[in-house]
Amino acid sequence: MSGTNILGGQVILPGKATPETAHLHVSGERIEQVGKADPLGERIDADGLIVAPGIIDLGVFATDKPAFRFGGITRAALMPDQSPVHDDPATIRFAGRKGKPDFWVHPLAAATKDLDGQHMAEIALMKDAGALGVATGRRWIADSGVMLRLMRYCAMLDLPLFVHSEDAGLAGNAVATTGLNATLLGLPSASPTVETLAIQRDLALAAESGAHLHFRQVTTSAGLDLIRAAKYKGLGISCGITPAHLFLSDTALTGFRTFARLSPPLRSEEDRLACIAAVADGTIDVIASGHDPRGPEDKRLPFADAAPGMAGAETLLALTLNLVRDGHISMGRLFELLATNPAKILKVNAGAIEIGREADLIFIDPDAPWQVDSDKMAALAGNTPFDKLPVQGRVRKIMKGGKII
């Protein structure tokens, strides 16, 4: 049989809450055996390490291979907010070739031409060119007629639609969530209702169209209640969140720290705790990095003028491991959020350690300490709101498609 044996690791297996000691055998690009080794194969000693499926980062804004490697990300769904916008087959085809063979980019097609929210793009042609989903980008499509036609088209093509949930008419030029902190800082703010209104409208249209909507970031208690109720009714939807909205509240804006200028903006402590509860109870399906590296020209500005976004790929794993340490979720559940569920949404043969799956694996030392340092990050820019935070958990080795990289 030959191939590669991975021996002695604590393996994250489907349906298991905690890692189990198991041997793995990889042949070619796929997992050939789980629990068995081939005496003729090469050997990788994984003793003392957790062997997990490679992270699939669902919705990044830059292809940033050094940062993805540091964070154990083996695949990423790339948002269409690029220059030029990914609204035609040529840009989709080009984006899908980036990073191969040791890193796979899965481009998402722009829902509308130039992401203008008005004129539908050639989605079928972009699917043929390799798009695995459609996205509205950083914007909410205000025209309900356009949105309904878009959902019906995505349902017909069996493509998930990634939506941004902020009613732009209500949000205006807000850069913070209405509350004491925004008032003290004198920042333009908007009520969390901007999220709930957007979610309500899109849920109603999803029920009519039968489309699979993925709400890329749901960050408020009221928004999560809507998602929870819709799932209970059997609506085919999913939703995600980033570590920033799990571990930071709007108190992080103190001092006008532009690294904490995000979209959607940071919420209240009550909403933050509701987000953690939603991760624990299964309402939230995906944790993604929201990776959006921004240089000094975008961040060294007055808070209201700074561009939203954070570099998140390198810190995604280390931060989310805190959810396991704090007892909110199991290690198995964590990798459902980071790998298995994203793979299901994109319909790719990865995200789990099972026979026949792509051998995209990461080897983790969960207790290895390090400090987040925006000046030393591998990303194109180190704009992280977690700068100087001590964390634990490092990826020691990555296997992509059966090859160590």
Query: What percent of the chain shows pLDDT beyond 70?
Result: 100
d(CA 161, CA 236) in angstroms, rounded, equals 11
Q: Where are the alpha helices (DSSP H) in 39-110?
A: 65-71, 89-97
Q: Is the distance from CB of 379 to CB of 293 less than 8 angstroms?
A: yes
* pLDDT given at position 117: 95
Average pLDDT on 154-166 reads: 97
d(CA 180, CA 187) in angstroms, rounded, equals 11
Which amino acid, residue 397?
Answer: K
CA distances from 83 to 79, 86, 87, 242 (A): 11, 8, 10, 24
Which amino acid, residue 308?
Answer: P
- pTM of the shown model: 0.96
Confidence tier at 2 by pLDDT (50, 70, 90): confident
Q: What is the CA radius of gyration of the chain?
A: 21
Domain 55-351+368-392 has CATH 3.20.20.140: yes
Per-residue pLDDT of 212-257, as tens digits, reads 999 999 999 999 999 999 999 999 999 999 999 999 999 999 999 9
Pairing of strands 50-53, 4-11: parallel
Residues in contact with 107: Cβ distance below 8 Å, sequence separation at least 6, in sequence order? 77, 78, 80, 86, 91, 92, 95, 96, 130, 131, 132
Average pLDDT on 5-33 reads: 94
Average pLDDT on 185-192 reads: 95
Which amino acid, residue 102?
Answer: D
Average pLDDT on 254-263 reads: 94
* pLDDT given at position 1: 54
Write phi, then psi, for 395 (nearest 5 degrees).
-85, 125
Average pLDDT for the chain:
95
- Please state whether 161 falls in left (phi above 0), alpha (psi between -120 and 50) or beta: beta
Write phi, then psi, for 44 (nearest 5 degrees).
-125, 120
Confidence tier at 38 by pLDDT (50, 70, 90): confident
Q: What's the half-sphere exposure (Cβ side, CA atoms, 13 Å) at 45?
A: 2
Q: Where are the alpha helices (DSSP H) in 158-294?
A: 168-171, 180-185, 193-209, 221-232, 243-247, 269-281
Which amino acid, residue 160?
Answer: P
CA distances from 155 to 159, 161, 213 (A): 6, 9, 10
Residues in contact with 78: Cβ distance below 8 Å, sequence separation at least 6, in sequence order? 60, 61, 63, 86, 95, 105, 106, 107, 108
- Identify which has the larger pLDDT, 164 or 98: 164
CA distances from 96 to 78, 138, 264 (A): 9, 20, 27
Per-residue pLDDT of 163-183, as tens digits, reads 999 999 999 999 999 999 999
